[in-house]
Amino acid sequence: MFFLLALHLAIGIGIVAGGRALGRQAFLVAAVAPLATVIWAATQAPSVLDGEPVTESFAWIPQLGIDIDLRLDAFALLMVAVISGIGLLICIYSLGYFSHLKPGLARLAGVLVLFAGSMLGVVLSDQLIALFIFWELTSVTSYLLIGNDDTNPRARAASMQAIFITGAGGLVLLAGLIIVGQAGGSYRISELLADPPSGGAVNVGIILILIGAFTKSAQAPFSSWLPAAMVAPTPVSAYLHSATMVKAGVYLVARLAPMFAMTGNWRLVVMVIGALTMSISGLRALRQHDLKLLLAYGTVSQLAFMMLLLGVGEYHIAEAGIVLILAHALFKAALFMVVGVIDHQTGTRDIRELHGFGSSWRLVQIVAIISAASMAGIPPLLGFIAKEKALDGYVEHGDFAGGTAVLVVIVLSSILTFAYSARFVLGVLGHFGESEHPVVSQAAHAPRAVFIGPAALLTGLTVLFGVAPFLLDDLVEGATRALYPGSEPKPLELFAGFNPALGLSVLIIVCGTLLTVFRGPAAEAQRRASEALRPVPSGEQGYLAVLKAISITATRVTATVQNGSLPIYIAIIMLTVSLIPAASLASEIGSLPQWVEEPVHIVLVAVIVAAAIGASVVHHRIAAALMLGAVGYAMAGLYVARGAPDLALTQFSIETLSTVLFVLVLRFLPRSWRHGAPAIAAPMRIAVAAAVGVAIFVFALSASNSRSSVDEPSMSEVMVEQALPKGKGHNVVNVILVDFRGWDTMGEITVLVVAAVGAVSLARPGRKRADDDEAPVFEEILDAGDEPAMPEALR
Amino acid sequence: MSDTPITDGPMRARSRRMVLLDTSMKVLYPSILVLALYFVFAGHNRPGGGFVGGLVVGGALALRYVSGGAAAVRSTFRVPPHLFLGVGLLLSALTAFIPLVLGGSILEHGDVTLHLPIFDKVKVTSALSFDLGVDLIVIGLVLMAFVAFGEDVPDAPDASDDGSDAPRKVRMRR
């Protein structure tokens, strides 16, 4: 499995880096990765379906117990089949879709492969943290794919919206996963399933996880990004935003529902959000004129349907959800492909502009009709079997609180699904074409075989699995058992006898047909209702409001804390440093130390205090710098008195040098401070200074006290003991610097280098003369003999 | 008390050479450098170390600057200051990471005991090269500060090697 992930990574990066020369053939290279995955999955299928998952593990951060554990069980196998099977077809379809070379095409192909690899990672990970990493990778690749046409501002805005919402959801998800993982004592899904954690923290954690899953699967109120993402090329929409990535949220909910459906408010939240999203999106799909947007809202609705099936933690119902994942992938990918074909050949996907397709378009229309019929739930197609099983599940096993209400919502939403499926078909058949709109479809050529072939193949599978559902029995039953160990799923049947579910199916079809026949009055009623509901903010408006609020808050905060005044900067930094850590440390002070150990301390401290006060009252800058130097020297004296020669040595040298450098720089500044209105009034300055002093005092006290409060040998003793045997040095301070804490030193000297380069490059332009155009060059500086060049170079 | 920069005050004062300082520099300067070297090499076992060594060299450079101006500092090290920074960082980073390549952990140190003619038994640890890197960085930092902010003494002998006695114009700073 690691091999497959690495293969995706290598092919993806390879195409992104060097695929430009390949042109459209980049998609053929890209197809290698999903093809290899499909073949590998087929070889593993028999044993996996027998209930023996394939596992691989890689120690990633063993210190934290974070490993990358991959596990292919039957449910993961089903997802892999969807991801790589559809991925393969999308690659072939792209050959037809991208018949004209555009810049960024190779990048699109490469990122598509990277996405496929990330998505495989999501469904193969048995470890929550690894799953999260792959989850985020799918968000990032989705962002890149939506915004691939980087010259289109709409594409950029849509990609920003997508990553903003899914990224924020990802952070929430991470918090939830960590809460659950810590409470359960394990981050492995298979171990958590055997022993699910519970408790107050877990109740919060699962809600956070649900929020993350809802953002990814575009559930209310986070659904606005998915319709916006339709600006992406159709292969991307078909692959990411209908068949795979948006199912990541459903996948996660399906994985965790067996453990947490009974915990806290999981089931309630899933049912409320799922029911709301399913019905609202169904209504919105009915109002679309853009075929792609119609499908997008339909996808949101169907994802909510899957949430309702897989999220309630009842295996009879979940089994229907598993069939629906498969059925939806088949019909929705095919429908998106059809929209792409129409869009590509005619230049529009607005149903008001489409009519009069010739007979050569028959295959496209058949594909559209059959796939839409599967979406509507008409027998004998796979979509019908999924819907029938879902209704049956809720009728027979939905006896939990709210189950009946959800069943009603599912039936009503399915009527809407039937209606928008019919609207899609009528649109593709050219029924809504109006004479005042330009007629564009009449002259359009029918697509080539490679273009419509993948959609036709998917449609063929929809029919095949509908007529012969027993072909899927092993996979669906295995997947159900993988989610719910010990469950006994029922085999799939096209006709399960005259039962309530069949009656509901007939009701849905009849009502849906009526809604389609009377679509004129229905649309009018819907328009009036939506006008009445206009004051209620939509998800899109909510997103914009959040963006605006963030922007305003950031502006205000920045204007307050970074107003350009150095004294205010320093005051804010100092107050933050002194108040936040010191407040928490103050409680740890046990006893006060002995104040004076040796008489010489009194003298040294007196010098320090006097010099410090002097530095703050003198008017000359250089005098103040010298006073500060005196403080430093007296500190060094304290080190000597305490027997720390290394510290004293460093302090003496540092003070000497910094005093010289102070004088060097202060020459460029006015001799004394301005006595205008200070940025901060004197009492405030004194207060800040006092706070800093108290904070340092508290810090020093608690630092020295913390050693006595633990029984273990203190760190300093360990270091003194280990300096010679481990560090090979007698000077403990030096051994700490270069060995025990050498990594810190490494960081510090890096900062030193950056600071040096930065300070000098800041100082140079400031000293440059007005007539000196060229930047100074060191060769000129070194050429001390060249009288005119040298001083100018320095300025 | 005014807002005029203090640039030309000390400059004029310094335009007279300080004979005492110039003369004692001849002895002081090399001695300080030797002391700095001692600090770097002895640092692992006695007070000292790369940081202190670098600072002491910096102190010597400060003396040099006071006596001869920025030109004197430049003529001391005929290598661009940024090279000190780069080489120093490279040296320390290599010392830190090479053990990783050899299968150890970052900054794991090894040591060899050498038998040199005069010093007899000398134990050298790889921490020394790390310390040398720190030393070079500190020297580079001080050099850069003097080159960037320093001032030339107009009639300092080291400031111009062309031997002309013509006094240079003191350029006013902004």
Backbone angles phi, psi at B106, to 5 degrees: -60, 135
Q: What are A383-394's pLDDT values in tens digits?
A: 999 999 999 999
Backbone angles phi, psi at A442, to 5 degrees: -60, -45
- For residue A441, the 8-state DSSP code is S
Q: Do B49 and A733 touch (CB under 8 A)?
A: yes
How far does A6 lie from chain B, in Å, by closest CA?
23
Q: Do A756 and B65 touch (CB under 8 A)?
A: no
pLDDT at A114: 95
Residue located via tokens 């799918």: A138
What's the CA gap between A265 and A205, in Å, rounded? 11
Closest listed residue to residue A426, CA positions, set A526, A348, A491, A357 = A357
pLDDT at A217: 94
pLDDT at A709: 57
What's the CA gap between A339 and A356, in Å, rounded? 16
B 35-74 residues with CB below 8 A of A?
A: 39, 43-52, 55-56, 58-59, 62, 65-66, 70-71, 74
Residue located via tokens 């006097």: A610
Parse chain A into domains and list their residue ranges.
270-517, 562-709
- Please give the single-letter amino acid code of residue A387: K
Q: Do B1 and A672 touch (CB under 8 A)?
A: yes
Contact with chain A for residue B113, Cβ under 8 A: no
Cβ(A735)–Cβ(A723) below 8 Å: yes
Q: What are A336-379's pLDDT values in tens digits?
A: 999 999 888 888 888 888 877 777 788 888 999 999 999 999 98
Cβ(B147)–Cβ(A781) below 8 Å: yes
What's the CA gap between A161 and A173, in Å, rounded? 18
pLDDT at A442: 59
Q: Do A731 and B6 touch (CB under 8 A)?
A: no
- Residues on chain A touching B1 (C-beta within 8 angstroms): 619, 671-672
Range in A343-352, A445-454, B108-117, B128-137 with the lowest mean pLDDT: B108-117
Q: Is A691 exposed, middle or buried (0-12, 13-18, 19+ CB in 10 A)?
A: middle
pLDDT at B161: 41
- How many residue contacts between A and B have a Cβ separation below 8 Å? 200
A577: Cβ contacts below 8 Å, ≥ 6 apart: A692, A695
Contact with chain B for residue A756, Cβ under 8 A: yes
pLDDT at A674: 64
- Please give the single-letter amino acid code of residue A291: L
Q: Which residue of A has its CA nearest to B69?
A: A664
- Beta partners for A228? none
Average of pLDDT values for B12-25? Answer: 70
First to last CA, chain B: 19
Cα–Cα distances (Å) from A228 to A98, A134, A154, A718, B43, in that order, read 21, 23, 9, 60, 64
- Residues on chain B touching A776 (C-beta within 8 angstroms): none
Using 70 as the pLDDT threshold, list the residues of chain A that sit under it: 435-443, 588-590, 674-677, 706-714, 764-795
What's the CA gap between A546 and A552, in Å, rounded? 10
A 762-791 residues with CB below 8 A of B?
A: 763-764, 766-767, 769, 778, 781-782, 784-785, 787, 790-791
How far does B60 lie from chain A, in Å, by closest CA?
9
Closest listed residue to residue B46, CA positions, set A742, A382, A734 = A734
Respond yes or no on whether the N-terminal peptide bond of residue A500 is cis (omega within 30° of 0).
no
Cβ(A155)–Cβ(A232) below 8 Å: yes
Cβ(A255)–Cβ(A212) below 8 Å: no
**Fold topology of A562-709:** Four Helix Bundle (Hemerythrin (Met), subunit A) (1.20.120)
pLDDT at A775: 45
Measured between CB atoms, which of B92, B146, B159 is closest to A749?
A: B92
Q: Do A671 and B4 touch (CB under 8 A)?
A: yes
pLDDT at A711: 64
How far does A566 lie from chain B, in Å, by closest CA?
19
Mutate one of B7, B41, B109 to test the A interface: name it (highest A CB count within 10 A): B109
pLDDT band at B153 (very low <50, low <70, confident <90, very high): low
Measured between CB atoms, which of B70, B89, B174 is closest to A749?
A: B89
ipTM: 0.76
pLDDT at A790: 35
- Residues on chain A touching B142 (C-beta within 8 angstroms): 657, 661
